Amino acid sequence: MKRLAVGIPRNLTNAFWLTGGRLTAHFANFALFVLLSRFFGPDGLGQYAVGMALGGLLYAAVSLGIEDYAIREGARQTPLVRRDFVGRLLGTQISTALVAVLVLIVFVMIVSYSPSQVAIVLLLASYQLALAFSRTLFVPAFSLQEMRVPSLLELATRLSATMASATLIILGAPLVLALVPIPLSGLAFLVFGIGSARKYDQGLTAEVGLGALRKTLLAIWPFAVSILVYQLYARADVIMLSFMRGEADAGIYASSFKFLEVGALPLYFMGVSAYPALSDLFARQDSRFSRAALGFQLPLLLAASLLAWGLLFVAPHILVPALGEEFRAAIPVVRTLAILAILVGIETATMRLLLVANLQVTRLKHQASAAGLNIVLNFFLIPPYGVLGAVWASISSHLAMVVLYYAALSTVSRTLAYRRALRKFVASLVAVSLVGWAFGLAGSSEWGVALATLVSFGARDPTKRRTRSVSRAALSQEKVSARASPNWRFL
């Protein structure tokens, strides 16, 4: 069986292709977002955001968290075994898609959306449906760490759709018509996914039946429920804002989160690129696991810090020129999201290690608790505080989730190096925040504070120091753990 490449260079190479492809596509989508705000205002943007939120829930119901589960397992399988494995996954998705689409249609009928909103929901849901199947079809390529071609294909299809939609908007097309190219791009990506699965696994099957469905659901249910919870966690605030405060507030909120969403993509792709090799090392009880985990974590946390800095000092100055004067209210929202950017970075790193360590059920429990907290806080904070109430609900619930994830990792001895590095990272952030606060009190300008915090973090950057000593400490701990307990803990 082919051994997967281990180390920072391969991880960063795959992260480069994933980030470059999807980030470029998201920047193009952001340009479309700007056009939507300019031509249709907060109301039109709110309709688009609601459509994407409901489409995201459909994606969760059909994708079933299969990508995270399948990449981990596929990295440990031969092509023929993986072909049957992917076939069972596809059969399960077909069955759940029929139910999920029916539920979506009933929901749209019950809430009495306008005809244009219904059409937008169906168009964007169709795209998410195609995307859910495509992700599974590209699992063989991702399991072998072949991520360049899928990334480029996704970029090509999404970029084409964005350009086509932008052209229609500029020509004066109504919102519904302008969004038609988006599901067409999803269909094209689906066709490419079929070709990829046939190439890497010597064919393609789809096993539909109660036996295959039962077997697959028993294996993937923590991942399936997790992605449903995540989508509920990520989309509930937009949907609740639209009902409780109107589509305009939902548009302000969505425009603010767009900066965080696009900026956080590299964090997500760093996790995806390191996932197959980390899973393989953990399964083989390889002594290189701790070093590989550190090599994945440290650049990710640095990127999260830079994202927070950008949201705090850069994004507010480009928001109004990009989206229009109607979105000036989003400036304090974007600044507040800098806190969430740090939490997202920590959550991304801890979540991947939980999955690698087979703690997906634990991850699900903590994620569900955070999602429930988020909904409750939104219910109480949105009516009096509007958009900022939704932001603080998200920050509070995300902080709770990070704390729970960190506590869960304390049960895995081989994550000792990660936990030590995370504590140093948090200490550095506190120190940098104090520097910025001191410069602000001294009367420094905004850009003076920005420069001071950037230089201060560079001087204290935990990714530049102690990496070697932490790695040595991790290896020493591994030897102690190996002598103390010959069996690895799989939960």
For the chain, the C-alpha Rg in angstroms (whole number) is 22
Q: In this prediction, what percent of the chain has a pLDDT beyond 70?
A: 83
For the full predicted model, state whether its pTM sits above 0.85: no
202: its two tokens: 């010597």
pLDDT at residue 373 in the model:
93
pLDDT at residue 393 in the model:
93
Averaged pLDDT for residues 214-234: 75
pLDDT at residue 17 in the model:
62
Lowest mean pLDDT among 15-19, 426-430, 459-463: 459-463
pLDDT at residue 392 in the model:
94
Averaged pLDDT for residues 322-326: 80
The CA-atom distances, in angstroms, between 26 and each of 23, 132, 277 are 5, 18, 27
Asked if pLDDT for residue 219 goes beyond 50, the answer is: yes
Instruction: Find how far residue 90's CA is from the centre of its chain.
Output: 22
pLDDT at residue 223 in the model:
75
Asked if pLDDT for residue 82 goes beyond 80, the answer is: no
Of 478 and 396, which is predicted with more confidence?
Answer: 396
> How far is 336 from 324, CA to CA, in rounded Å?
20
pLDDT at residue 167 in the model:
92
Mapping DSSP to helix (H, G, I), strand (E, B) and coil, where does residue 64 land? coil
| Res. 490 pLDDT band, cuts 50 70 90 | very low
Residue count of the chain:
491
What residues have CB less than 8 Å from 403, skipping those under 6 apart? none
Lowest mean pLDDT among 43-47, 154-158, 347-351: 43-47
Lowest mean pLDDT among 107-116, 300-309, 340-349, 464-473: 464-473
Q: What is the dihedral of CA 82, 83, 85, 87, to 10 degrees?
A: 160
> How far is 378 from 366, CA to CA, in rounded Å?
18
Cα–Cα–Cα angle for 14, 355, 403, nearest 5°?
A: 110
Asked if pLDDT for residue 488 goes beyond 50, the answer is: no
Of 104 and 33, which is predicted with more confidence?
Answer: 104
> How far is 278 from 336, CA to CA, in rounded Å?
33
pLDDT at residue 489 in the model:
26
> How far is 99 from 217, CA to CA, in rounded Å?
15
Nearest by Cα to 372 from 407, 404, 334: 404
pLDDT at residue 5 in the model:
47
442 within 8 A of 436, measured Cβ to Cβ: no
Of 491 and 21, which is predicted with more confidence?
Answer: 21
φ, ψ for residue 232, nearest 5 deg:
-65, -40
Of 440 and 125, which is predicted with more confidence?
Answer: 125
Provide the mean pLDDT of the chain: 79
Highest mean pLDDT among 245-249, 346-350, 395-399, 465-469: 395-399
Place of tokens 């709770």: 400
Q: What is the dihedral of CA 54, 57, 59, 63, to 10 degrees?
A: -170
Residue-wise pLDDT tens digits, 229-242: 777 777 778 878 87
Of 308 and 89, which is predicted with more confidence?
Answer: 308
pLDDT at residue 461 in the model:
55
Lowest mean pLDDT among 197-206, 323-332, 473-482: 473-482
Lowest mean pLDDT among 120-124, 163-167, 232-236, 318-322: 232-236
Mapping DSSP to helix (H, G, I), strand (E, B) and coil, where does residue 461 land? coil
pLDDT at residue 308 in the model:
92
Lowest mean pLDDT among 115-124, 160-169, 473-482: 473-482
Cα–Cα–Cα angle for 22, 25, 28, nearest 5°?
A: 155
Q: What number of CA atoms fall less than 13 Å from residue 4's CA on the CB side? A: 38
> How far is 139 from 463, CA to CA, in rounded Å?
31
> How far is 390 from 340, CA to CA, in rounded Å?
12
Asked if pLDDT for residue 216 goes beyond 90, the answer is: no
471: its two tokens: 């790695």
366 within 8 A of 404, measured Cβ to Cβ: yes
| Res. 75 pLDDT band, cuts 50 70 90 | low
pLDDT at residue 102 in the model:
92
| Res. 2 pLDDT band, cuts 50 70 90 | very low
Asked if pLDDT for residue 106 goes beyond 70, the answer is: yes
Asked if pLDDT for residue 404 goes beyond 90, the answer is: yes
Asked if pLDDT for residue 474 goes beyond 50, the answer is: no
pLDDT at residue 8 in the model:
44
Asked if pLDDT for residue 7 goes beyond 90, the answer is: no
Residue-wise pLDDT tens digits, 357-394: 888 888 888 988 998 999 999 999 999 988 899 999 99
Asked if pLDDT for residue 131 goes beyond 70, the answer is: yes
pLDDT at residue 396 in the model:
94
Cα–Cα–Cα angle for 268, 474, 9, nearest 5°?
A: 45
